[in-house]
Amino acid sequence: MLFLQGMRKLFTDIRSIHGIETDPKSLLKGTEMSRVDSIHDAWLLTDNGNFADWGSMQDSNLPKADEIISLQGLEVLPGLVDSHTHCIFAEPRSTEWEMRLKGATYEEIAAAGGGILNSAAKLRSMDEEWLYEKSLNRVLTMIAHGSTTIEIKSGYGLSTESELKMLRIARRIKKNVKATIKTTFLGAHAVPPEFNGRQDDYVAHIINQMLQAVSEDGLADHMDVFCDRGFFTPEQTLQLLEAAARYGLPAKIHANELGITGGVQVAAQAGAWSADHLEHIGAEEIECLRNSEVMPVGLPGTSYFLDIPYTPARMIIDAGLPFALASDFNPGSSPVCNMQMIWSLGCSRMKMLPAEAFNAITLNAARSLRLENTAGSIAIGKQADFWTTETGNAVQSVPYFFGVNHANAVYCKGTKV
């Protein structure tokens, strides 16, 4: 009988490794977020796709390995975790963007049947194969910018058939890329035209039909609801998330993007893994988050693109809470797929320190998907997901020199992709 030995790879001549954890934590909160551990002039060992060890190039004995790869003075960072994307969509919405540039608001466009409903109309009519190819390319671009864990939501189908189409595509992407992919059912993203004026009926339809179909096929890892002004109410959201829990789907939530709407309280009540957006929150929401396990997630690409307030990251972190950042990559409110840009926006627009924003796009982002044991830092036993960069002093310089891709190569589970 032949036993497969773990394949050991030794990466040498690394200028710096950032984001190492000798004592792995499940998340970082408050002042803990401003710390990033690095070592310099280092080697990194992976075994069977997981981080196995690291040390100094000055060590007299380097570990034995099946393959030795010199990184020739590059820096190494843990793979970025994009915990919130809507990257499966048919077309850009650049016409709506121009309408907004002329003064229309996101909510006005949505109320007039544009926005998410515009995306849904296009997606429903689009061939699955074609949609798959387009979406796969977007995911490959995200990976090329250093994202090695990516969450993908449905929510542009808004019918059982088209929501399943989106989730099948997400599963197919998962099978065909090396990055870790997690999927989220977002049937409650908007009320489709067939249910116009019958919002409660659509909620019942999601609960009684769509959820069963989605879970029967095992296509989703979580359920999400757009709980906001003009979309779903806190009561409907709670009903939806409780139904999802009965199908074993943990909750995530879009909350407080358009106003103080009670979404944070619902997230806490439903035991959601994360509450995302939070552009509009006050002391009550902070208190509520403090008494919960909900990871607050900011989406600065949305604030930038919609010209709405940024999530008050300082208020959240200074209250001693954890905080994560994601791209919200979508055609309506955040057409950005580059987490390095999100890192930069977190600093320049939300006044997070580079190290805080780094932890927000790595470990805390992993926590928002409850993947902190396998992703989000360079720690022994975690998946060897990392990227290399020529940029020196990367934790400061990557978000500082914004708008370019600093990734030289990206590795998922120890393999270059």
Which residues form the interface with ligand NIG (CB under 6 A)? 86, 115-116, 119, 226, 254, 257, 302, 328, 330-334
Q: Is 82 in the site for Fe ion (CB under 5 A)?
A: no
* Helix (H/G/I), strand (E/B), else coil: 140: helix
Residue labelled with tokens 């979404």: 263
Q: Which of 162, 189, 160, 192 is nearest to 84 (CA)?
A: 189
Closest distance of CB 328 from ligand NIG, Å: 5
Structure tokens at 222: 């979580």
Structure tokens at 292: 């919960």
Closest distance of CB 326 from Fe ion, Å: 8
- Interacting partner of 261 out of Fe ion, ligand NIG, none (Cβ under 5 to 8 A depending on kind): none
Structure tokens at 306: 């919609």
> How many residues sit in the footprint of Fe ion (CB under 5 A)?
1
Closest distance of CB 320 from ligand NIG, Å: 26
Stretch near Fe ion under the rule CB under 5 A, chosen from 24-32, 322-330, 367-375, 402-410? 322-330
Q: Which residue is nearest to ligand NIG (CB)?
A: 332
Rounded to whole angstroms, how far apart are CA atoms 288 and 297?
Answer: 15
Can you tell me which of 21, 82, 221, 328 binds Fe ion, judged by CB under 5 A? 328
Q: Which residue is nearest to Fe ion (CB)?
A: 328
Beta bridge partners of 184: 153, 222
Closest distance of CB 358 from Fe ion, Å: 22
Closest distance of CB 282 from ligand NIG, Å: 20
Is 33 within 8 Å of 356 (Cβ atoms)? yes
Q: Is 372 in the site for Fe ion (CB under 5 A)?
A: no
- Interacting partner of 119 out of Fe ion, ligand NIG, none (Cβ under 5 to 8 A depending on kind): ligand NIG
Query: Considering beta carbons, is residue 221 or 328 the nearer one to Fe ion?
Result: 328
Q: Which of 188, 195, 237 is nearest to 214 (CA)?
A: 188
How far from each other are the two terminal CA atoms of the chain, in whole angstroms?
32
Contacts of 266 (CB under 8 A, 6+ apart): 227, 234, 237, 238, 241, 253, 255, 272
* Helix (H/G/I), strand (E/B), else coil: 322: strand
Query: Considering beta carbons, is residue 19 or 332 the nearer one to ligand NIG?
Result: 332
Closest distance of CB 201 from Fe ion, Å: 24
- Interacting partner of 116 out of Fe ion, ligand NIG, none (Cβ under 5 to 8 A depending on kind): ligand NIG
Query: Considering beta carbons, is residue 86 or 406 the nearer one to ligand NIG?
Result: 86
Closest distance of CB 299 from Fe ion, Å: 7
Query: Considering beta carbons, is residue 83 or 333 the nearer one to ligand NIG?
Result: 333
Query: Considering beta carbons, is residue 17 or 190 the nearer one to Fe ion?
Result: 190
H/E segment holding residue 202: helix 199-205
Rounded to whole angstroms, how far apart are CA atoms 174 and 178?
Answer: 8
Angle, helices 283-290/263-270, rounded to nearest 10 degrees: 10
Per-position DSSP letters for 235-304, written without gaps between them: HHHHHHHHHHHHTTPPEEEEESSSS--SHHHHHHHHT-SEEEE-SS--HHHHHHHHTS-PEEEE-HHHHH
Query: Considering beta carbons, is residue 147 or 334 the nearer one to ligand NIG?
Result: 334
**Binding site residues, Fe ion, CB under 5 A:** 328
